[in-house]
Structure 1
Amino acid sequence: MDIDIRKATIKDLPVLKAMEQGVISAERPFDPTLAKDPISYYDISSLMANPRAIVLVAVHNEVIVSCGYALEKTAKPYLDHKSYAYLGFMFTLPEYRGQGLNGKILSALKNWANESGLKEIRLTVYNENDAALRAYEKVGFKRHIIEMRWPDDE
């Protein structure tokens, strides 16, 4: 399959906004604290305009089939690095899953981070999202910390 990885453009925004809803739908079962639809996670156009961020898309036959972003963030002052690349908006259309597209996007984001001088790369994933955990571990991510919450419904 011929897949091109490229930087997203403003023309891609409608497709990316639809993919964002795919991310939200996939994550909603893992998070009872998400507000009712419609919600949005990302300011995609601001990410595209940010010189310390990149939004990438995977394209097959001129159709965007996968996406992700990297954003430079300031690290906590007690860590051994001043900044890091935070990855997010990882989504692949269902009919293209299992073909390594997530890995290709992650590899390109890692290259961007390294070229930007960012050696630390992080992302967040729901603890119950086994498929995502496996996908990230497959490309080399290690589990690091679990955020816990105390539900107020008890």
Structure 2
Amino acid sequence: MAEVRIRPATPNDLETLLRFEQGVIAAERPFDPTLRSEGITYYDLQELITSSQALIIVAEDQQQIVGSGYARIEPAQPYLRHEQYAYLGFMYVEPAYRGRGVNALIMESLKQWAMAQGLKELRLEVYAQNAPAIRAYEKAGFAAHMLEMRMAI
């Protein structure tokens, strides 16, 4: 994976990142019947790029962005041992680059950033039916912690 490099996102990357966001939404739509049928966004990407409490990174191959992810510092619940943690999200890899370790590079870079911020825990959310994503996160060292349940009424 020597050809892929990781760097912080810049405002110049916004067009690509907006396309990636729609890719994330399209990938998750089959797992979530509560999503509106069109016109949704998950992230304020401009704010995340400029925030001192977050880092969006991109993976590049030959100056083409092929993946993304972010870490955002979040306050922990007052009953937990730690005061803050890094929440990971916006994990996206272009289809042609999947299975080549790009996601692992992204997660490792975000982990290193979180550690440099003095954080001791990473958290993320993944749909219970998204087996490929769960396998990727487990391979990176994550473990299932709690299952959120819902019921339409």
The 3-state SS of whatever aligns with 1:137 is helix
Distance 1:93 1:151 in 2: 33
Distance 2:24 2:13 in 1: 16
Distance 1:35 1:41 in 2: 12
Give the superposed CA RMSD.
0.6
Q: Which residue of 2 aligns with 1:6?
A: 7
In the alignment, structure 1 residue 129 sits paired with structure 2 residue 130: yes
Measured against aligned partners, the alpha-carbon deviations of 1:60-101 in whole angstroms (never above 9, x if no partner) come to 011100000000000111111100000000000001000000
TM-score in terms of structure 2 length: 0.98
Percent of aligned positions that are identical: 52
- Kindly tell me the number of residue pairs found equivalent between the two proteins: 152
What residue ranges of structure 1 are gaps of 5+ in the alignment? none
1:151 offset after TM fit, Å?
1.6
Distance 2:19 2:77 in 1: 33
TM-score in terms of structure 1 length: 0.97
What residue ranges of structure 2 are gaps of 5+ in the alignment? none
- The correspondence of residues 109-128 of structure 1 with structure 2, limited to 5 A, is 109-128=110-129
- The correspondence of residues 32-51 of structure 1 with structure 2, limited to 5 A, is 32-51=33-52
Instruction: Supply the AA of the counterpart residue of 1:32.
Output: P
Q: Which residue of 1 aligns with 2:72?
A: 71
Distance 2:131 2:152 in 1: 22
1:109 offset after TM fit, Å?
0.1
Distance 1:35 1:80 in 2: 37
1:36 offset after TM fit, Å?
1.8
The 3-state SS of whatever aligns with 1:125 is coil
